[in-house]
Amino acid sequence: MDVRFTERELDIMQVLWEVGEGTVAEVQARLDDELAYNTVLTMLRVLEEKGHVTRTTEGKAHRYRPSVAREEAGRSALSRVTRRLFRGSPEALLVHLVRQPGVTPEEIRRMRDLLDDLVRDTELEEDP
């Protein structure tokens, strides 16, 4: 599933992923930027139309919940970035990632350990 968000939609989804659910007022209160109630309401309705959130009625209010997991959205975004910026090469993406300023030797060691584990697991799956 190709999941795409505008920057503002992603801000709202971040709130919902963090708290699990919320009314328009609750989401509005947790946003870093001050947005009008009607703006947040409109954006939640758009997210609902796209199938990214669901809502239930609580009295006069509506409670919104994410229907797309953060991990799913991350996979979709990473797939687009890999295709468009790195010509579909996960290796090129990884090289770019580990060469970012601020990446510590310890972080690189942990990434290497993760890759070693993945290789080992893949080899075990291939053995009959």
Does 3.30.43.10 match the CATH number of domain 7-66?
no
Q: How far apart are CA 55 and CA 37, in angstroms?
A: 17
pTM comes to: 0.78
| Per-residue pLDDT at 128 | 62
Q: What is the mean pLDDT of residues 48-60?
A: 95
The residues that bridge with 22 in the sheet, in sequence order, are: 64
Q: What is the mean pLDDT of residues 51-60?
A: 94
For 68-120, how does the pLDDT look when each residue is reduced to its tens digit (9 = 90+)?
Answer: 999 999 999 999 999 999 999 999 999 999 999 999 999 999 999 999 999 98
Who's near 89: CB < 8 A, 6+ residues apart? Answer: 82
Sign of CA dihedral 120, 99, 72, 65: positive
| Per-residue pLDDT at 71 | 95
